[in-house]
Structure 1
């Protein structure tokens, strides 16, 4: 059952619930620190039956990764103009998480950074808004469920249960996370939409059975910058959830549609994952 219940006012960007001990990430949270253990980022290829080709994904393993133990997994998705390297190049999730581990603030987890554009030529080149490229983001649901997750679960010692599987993303990836996560509550127990884009389904379509989501999810996180032109998407989703009494966190923070916001989202969101 959902454990985190925070319904935040739209114009109170610094208001957070008791579950979030910090209102915003502290200065230096994304700076590389010397003298602490560091995780590792590997680049892997997997066979995609959905696309009919080999695809690339990055995998972050935490400091002290031990193959004799089993870990939860966060699948972290990029935006419409990015690929599997967007988070790594602009959001430094490996640095943020290393620092959180060093401070004892988050649970050890794997983070999978896939390419959410499921097509043969999946580069963010040419017209990124072309019909086939946009449709490929929807196709990624099948690639994720049928190809990528089984691959990760064969390659790494991970816990194969929705309570130990999270899905989150920024912008286009935020929409994917809400669409795929809420559409597959038996697969994902922790869901985060950061500044979700217009690919996000309408609230009634996204959550046709509020009772099921209320019962199955551990955490549903909706966040957006207070100066983001896409705020209406997150706000509409929040309003629907509140109306139907679906527990969730609606976190409004200062900022626009950029990595300053999304890095802060990852810092805040990751501290709640896989905890009782």
Structure 2
């Protein structure tokens, strides 16, 4: 585990940057061919084995979903020479593609997240970066945010990796000026691209960053599957996820929610995939009654099992922190500074 002295976010980084240094946010609509339908079937346009999904797969029409995309100051659609790294930020169980932007207070008329990134870029702490904030429910009712353990909207959280790999990332990388190109599949290109993509999430999104990216378990309704819920929230583990460390080299999890897999499994999955993670950053408040127990379970044994396939690992417990944006903004600020060759993880 790499030592990291954690301090609060500097006040100047929370305030709005000068007007010429402020990025912009776009609402982007894109087609999704991989999602849970109203019959709890998995809709896909490719051949997928039952053992991989744990449910019946069917063909179906694409649905249209929306994500929010932060573009740094100076981004120009017509500039084909300048390329950008990409960070994907995932929301919580009751949130959506706007939670990182609207879920907390704002400062100077802008979200804290945008202010932080604007200032990090303007001060030379990081290279300009594109930030994609999707809706993490890969389901026909993706706009439904109510917690219901038997709902298809909840089930969609555990199948978001398909949408991410086959729908969202290809759309982003064909629409915006990114270093990464998922269409290039030779080994050197795959390794190059994964080092220009990062992903992190808060709460339920933190679970997705662990289970779906590192490789844990999918979950479904305990009532429907007939399997007892180890978290007492009506959800139970079903089938393992192959993970996406071939896509991402940087992963962050902030206050990962119950249903996150345990650290021994996650570490084993990292090693089995054979792709070295450049940064794994996990944080939680020690007064977080929602996530702290699960956070501890997800870190136990992880580094031992991951071995040499984990380059820099940050385990950050926030004293007195609870399940809120004080912890999540802090996690995002410090995680972003470590990405893509910036910060002490690569010094």
Instruction: Report if TM-score (shorter chain) is over 0.5.
Output: yes
Partner residue in 1 for 2:206: 174
Question: Secondary structure at the residue paired with 1:218?
Answer: strand
- Name which of structure 1's ranges 109-118 and 129-138 shifts more when overlaid on structure 2: 129-138
* SS of corresponding position for 1:262: helix
Aligned residues of 1:222 and 1:250 also touching (Cα < 8 A): yes
Instruction: Give the TM-score normalised by structure 2.
Output: 0.70
Deviates more, 1:235-244 or 1:100-109: 235-244
Deviation sequence 1:186-231 (CA, Å, 0-9, x none): 1100000100011312233323245357851110111111211211
Which of 324, 328, 341 does residue 258 from structure 1 map onto? 324
Q: After superposition, give the CA deviation of every residue in 1:117-153 in whole Å (9 maximum; x if it has no partner).
A: 1112212444444432221101211111110000001
Aligned equivalents of 2:141 and 2:153: distance in 1? 9
Instruction: Name the structure 2 match of 1:49.
Output: 33
Q: 1:226 matched to which residue of 2?
A: 286
Q: Which sits farther off after the overlay, 141-150 or 214-223? A: 214-223
Structure showing greater Rg: 2
Aligned with residue 97 of structure 2, among 70, 79, 84: 84
User: What do you get for the CA RMSD once the two structures are aligned?
Assistant: 2.0
Listed as ranges, the gaps of 5+ residues in structure 1 are: 7-15
Aligned residues between the structures: 260
Partner residue of 2:143 out of 113, 123, 130: 123
* Structure 1 residue aligned with 2:333: 267
**More strand, by proportion:** 2
Q: How does 1:97-246 map to 2 (within 5 A)?
A: 97-160=117-180, 161-182=193-214, 183-212=243-272, 216-229=276-289, 230-244=291-305, 245=307, 246=310
Structure 2 unpaired stretches of 5+: 36-61, 105-110, 181-192, 215-242
Q: Take 1:168 and 1:189, find their aligned partners in 2: how far apart are those partners? A: 11
- Structure 1 counterpart SS, 2:65: strand
User: Whose relative contact order is higher, 1 or 2, with alpha carbons under 8 Å and at least 6 apart?
Assistant: 1
* Secondary structure class of the residue paired with 1:32: coil
* Cα distance change, pair 204–241 in 1 and its aligned pair in 2 (3 A): closer
Aligned match of 1:63: 73
4+ residue stretches of structure 1 with deviation over 3 A? 33-36, 124-131, 209-215, 242-247
Query: Do the aligned partners of residues 36 and 264 (structure 1) sit closer, same or farther apart at CA in structure 2, a change above 3 Å counting?
Result: farther
Question: In 2, distance between residues paired with 1:158 and 1:235?
Answer: 35
SS of structure 1 residue aligned to 2:133: strand
CA contact (8 A) 2:267 2:303 kept: no
TM-score (norm 1): 0.87
Instruction: Find the counterpart in structure 2 of residue 37 from structure 1.
Output: 21
